[in-house]
Amino acid sequence: MQRIGRYTIKLSGMTGIIGSAGVGSKTEGEGPLGKDFDFLYPDDGIGQSTWEKAESELHKKAVTLATENAGKTPADIDVIFAGDLLNQCTGSTFGIREMDIPFAGMYGACSTMILSLATASVFVDSGAANTAIASTSSHFCSAEKQFRFPLEYGGQRTPTSQRTATAAGAAVVEYGQQNGIIIDKVMIGKIQDLGITDANNMGAAMAPAAARTIKDFLTDTNTTPDDYDLILTGDLGHVGSQLLIELLRTRENIDISKVHNDCGMMIFDREKQDVHAGGSGCGCCASVLCSHIFKRMKRRELKKILVVATGALLSPVSSLQNESIPGIAHAVEIIFR
Amino acid sequence: MQRIGRYTIKLSGMTGIIGSAGVGSKTEGEGPLGKDFDFLYPDDGIGQSTWEKAESELHKKAVTLATENAGKTPADIDVIFAGDLLNQCTGSTFGIREMDIPFAGMYGACSTMILSLATASVFVDSGAANTAIASTSSHFCSAEKQFRFPLEYGGQRTPTSQRTATAAGAAVVEYGQQNGIIIDKVMIGKIQDLGITDANNMGAAMAPAAARTIKDFLTDTNTTPDDYDLILTGDLGHVGSQLLIELLRTRENIDISKVHNDCGMMIFDREKQDVHAGGSGCGCCASVLCSHIFKRMKRRELKKILVVATGALLSPVSSLQNESIPGIAHAVEIIFR
């Protein structure tokens, strides 16, 4: 492992993903990526008595399926890095509490999957762990209840708002991989806050962080957007993605428009589904990456991608106290060979 | 770096703490460790308009002082691992958002300082970072408001309840240390849940996790309590500490009573201060470790210690939904040479 440039961590090239799973619910299954999910629940209840328990069950399912997909059992896993949007990260905690796996809780709002995957990769690449899992979850109903209004209230959502995906994703990382999906580089992002205060426009709050991370990564690695088959942002949605492209073009003279896509734009069909500016939530990027994207990599449709997950580090209390919304974006470069 | 036993990570012996700071407020200053704090605020307001902003200011102060103490500037820091008890970890986020340091949010409730320190140490020891910070904070008033009742309500606290410390701690970790405070081994803990549901008895909820971590660590390293000058738990307080000693003695035949102490018992004087079962909160272990303990190590009073911070991974919602309280405990072995 070595540092390149100011912020980027280059791994050995032997740390790879040996198993993964993305799970979703009804709305995710009806979206354009529905067929790629590893498991779909028929509704957001997930067979549980509360939205929070539903999210934990979803999280557990993703971890269980990813572990099986890797040909492992929970006893083979040295550490799991996991987090979610719920207060005190209980979506993760209660989801995996019975698995007896060393547990490191992480919080990066919707960027948590890449934060967890980056940290898990460093642990595995350094020998601190032989096998690690990165996982995250989110749930439309638990997120609405916590961050905005209970669904029963019937609040109207603004055109810039995004729909939290009821979804979870998990990836099993292990050292010693000659071929397959390899985590080549990782970067921990820096908080960016341009003063956005509209909690219904997360895309705008997070776009500057994505721009900063992409710019720093390209600078550190001396690459251009053309060097990647895909630059995939976490969940900026339609509003934030447009802002990101504009920010990079006008301020940094970087044009990512030809290779950019966004998990929040991909997971739902904006024309057919009532999702406003697209998908969001920890589980959006996690499930799209761990199901659709990794499947495409295995089909050799994508050989080198940069995944940049973004998070809005607000809380309901910070918004009520008129604070602006700090954004963050973490990155991993993933190659297939 | 290498794994020893089932769960323990042995570092190179060259990763050390080159600077640290513990800050507190009035009640902490009046406690037995008051003179060792690096900075004390005259009251819990910390000069801010809300309890949440007060906690962020406290966090920022600890990080700033630790950075100065290490002879560094924020531009020298490659990554900061930080977290706190507030919803969406805003105590940390808003505290350090202007520092432009790569930020990895962590959540382990009151165990967060050791989770962050362990992760920062792995990053530094592996070369993923040259210099890293681990930091956490807590605030009595923001924690009471969030987890129990607003102070204005005047709720009565039970004898088993603990007082959240208004405190923060930060440690700067760097590779290449021949002498001084060295992080020798780290262990990420496993969730333990024996079914405790009383949110006013965190000590009981966390003691089984501390017992499991201590047992696993002693087994992995083939050591006994006599090999340590101090086994320091995070903040079990008086109730949880007694339970820990009993659990280890009766179930594992391990007697830690001669070398055990607990940050929650040390930070306040139970006889003179109205703190019930002792101190708690992320900032309790962080500030005691980063001020009092490291100062004692530098005076060569402690040469080999095992620090086991404990966390109760509940949320107010999980308690209302009749969930039990999962506990966790992470460990670092610190030596002075």
Instruction: Look up residue A233 and give its amino acid.
Output: T
Shortest Cα distance, chain B CAs vs residue A284, angstroms: 18
Structure tokens of A52? 């929070």
- Does position A157 have pLDDT exceeding 90, yes or no? no
Judging contacts by C-beta atoms under 8 Å, the chain A residues touching residue B317 are 52, 86-87, 90
Structure tokens of B52? 């949440």
Predicted local distance difference test score (pLDDT) of residue A105: 98
Q: Strand pairing partners for A230?
A: A305
> Collapsing DSSP states into helix, strand and coil, what is residue A5?
coil
- Does position A91 have pLDDT exceeding 90, yes or no? yes
- How far CA A144 is from CA of A14, A147, A297, B239, in Å, comes to 40, 5, 33, 38
Task: Over range A257-263, report the average pLDDT.
Answer: 98
- Regarding the domain delimited by B2-175, which CATH topology (the fold level of the hierarchy) does it fall under? Peroxisomal Thiolase; Chain A, domain 1 (3.40.47)
* Residue numbers of chain B with a pLDDT score lower than 70: none
Size of interface A-B (CB pairs under 8 A): 170
Predicted local distance difference test score (pLDDT) of residue B336: 98
The secondary element (H helix, E strand) that includes residue B79 is strand B79-84
Cβ contacts of residue A234 below 8 Å, gap of 6+?
A110, A111, A113, A114, A206, A210, A262, A263, A264, A284, A285, A307, A308, A309, A310, A311, A329
Instruction: Look up residue A154 and give its amino acid.
Output: G
Domain chopping of chain B, boundaries? 2-175, 184-336
Could you give the dihedral angle defined by the CA atoms of residues A223, B127, A76 and B207, in that order, rounded to the nearest 10 degrees? -130
In terms of CA atoms, which chain A residue is nearest residue B97?
A191
Cα–Cα distance for residue pair A128/B57, rounded to 1 Å: 34
Burial class (CB in 10 A: 0-12, 13-18, 19+), A160: middle
Contact B191 A96 (CB under 8 A): yes
CB B183 within 8 A of CB B117: yes
Structure tokens of A151? 């669904």
Cα A38 vs. chain centroid, distance in angstroms?
Answer: 17
Report the relative pairing of strands A304-312 and A230-233 from DSSP bridges: parallel
Task: Over range A89-106, report the average pLDDT.
Answer: 97
Predicted local distance difference test score (pLDDT) of residue B232: 98
CB A324 within 8 A of CB A195: yes
CB A173 within 8 A of CB A125: no
What ipTM was estimated for this complex? 0.97
Cα–Cα distance for residue pair A87/B89, rounded to 1 Å: 9
Q: Residue count of chain B, please give it.
A: 337
- Taking the complete model, does pTM exceed 0.95, yes or no? yes
In terms of CA atoms, which chain A residue is nearest residue B101?
A190
Contact A94 B7 (CB under 8 A): no
Contact B123 A127 (CB under 8 A): no
Cα–Cα distance for residue pair A192/A326, rounded to 1 Å: 6
Predicted local distance difference test score (pLDDT) of residue B313: 96
- Does position A209 have pLDDT exceeding 90, yes or no? yes
Cβ contacts of residue B147 below 8 Å, gap of 6+?
B85, B199, B316
- Does position A215 have pLDDT exceeding 90, yes or no? yes
Predicted local distance difference test score (pLDDT) of residue A234: 94
CB B66 within 8 A of CB B48: no
Domain A184-336: CATH class, spelled out: alpha beta
> At residue B227, what are phi and psi to the nearest 5 degrees?
-75, -5
> Collapsing DSSP states into helix, strand and coil, what is residue A7?
coil
B314, HSE (Cβ side, Cα atoms, 13 Å) = 27
Q: Strand pairing partners for B305?
A: B230, B334
A124 pLDDT band, cuts 50/70/90, is: very high
Task: Over range A261-274, report the average pLDDT.
Answer: 96
Cα–Cα distance for residue pair B54/A39, rounded to 1 Å: 44
Shortest Cα distance, chain A CAs vs residue B131, angstroms: 12
- Does position A155 have pLDDT exceeding 90, yes or no? no
Sign of the dihedral through C-alpha A215, A236, B100, B309: negative
Nearest CB neighbour to B90, from listed A50, A130, A315: A315
Where are any strands of DSSP class E within chain A? 2-4, 8-10, 15-24, 39-40, 79-84, 103-107, 131-138, 163-164, 167-175, 181-187, 230-233, 260-262, 279-280, 304-312, 327-336
Cβ neighbours, 10 Å, residue B198: 14
Predicted local distance difference test score (pLDDT) of residue A149: 87
* Location of structure tokens 């799970």: A23
Nearest CB neighbour to B100, from listed A79, A89, A190: A190
Judging contacts by C-beta atoms under 8 Å, the chain B residues touching residue A93 are 191, 313, 326
Instruction: Look up residue A267 and give its amino acid.
Output: I
Predicted local distance difference test score (pLDDT) of residue B200: 87
- Does position A199 have pLDDT exceeding 90, yes or no? no
> Collapsing DSSP states into helix, strand and coil, what is residue B41?
coil
Contact B326 A109 (CB under 8 A): no
Predicted local distance difference test score (pLDDT) of residue B156: 87
In terms of CA atoms, which chain B residue is nearest residue A132?
B188
Cβ neighbours, 10 Å, residue B117: 33
Structure tokens of A218? 């390209």
Q: Of B278, B151, B268, which Cα lies nearest the Cα of B207?
A: B278
Helices marked H in A70-201: 90-96, 112-126, 140-147
Judging contacts by C-beta atoms under 8 Å, the chain A residues touching residue B108 are 104-105
Q: What is the DSSP string of B317-333?
A: HHHHTT----EEEEEEE
Contact A107 B83 (CB under 8 A): yes
Instruction: Look up residue A145 and give its amino acid.
Output: K
Sign of the dihedral through C-alpha A276, A281, A285, A291: negative
Burial class (CB in 10 A: 0-12, 13-18, 19+), B321: middle
Task: Over range A72-100, report the average pLDDT.
Answer: 97
Shortest Cα distance, chain A CAs vs residue B144, angstroms: 14
- How far CA B193 is from CA of A70, A103, B332, in Å, comes to 27, 13, 22
Q: Give the relative orientation of helices B237-252 and B202-221 as an angle to the nearest 10 degrees.
A: 40
Cα–Cα distance for residue pair B291/A332, rounded to 1 Å: 36
Cα–Cα distance for residue pair B9/A102, rounded to 1 Å: 12
- Supply the mean pLDDT for chain A: 97
Cα–Cα distance for residue pair B69/B296, rounded to 1 Å: 16
Cα–Cα distance for residue pair A229/A220, rounded to 1 Å: 18
Q: CATH topology of A2-175 equal to that of A184-336?
A: yes
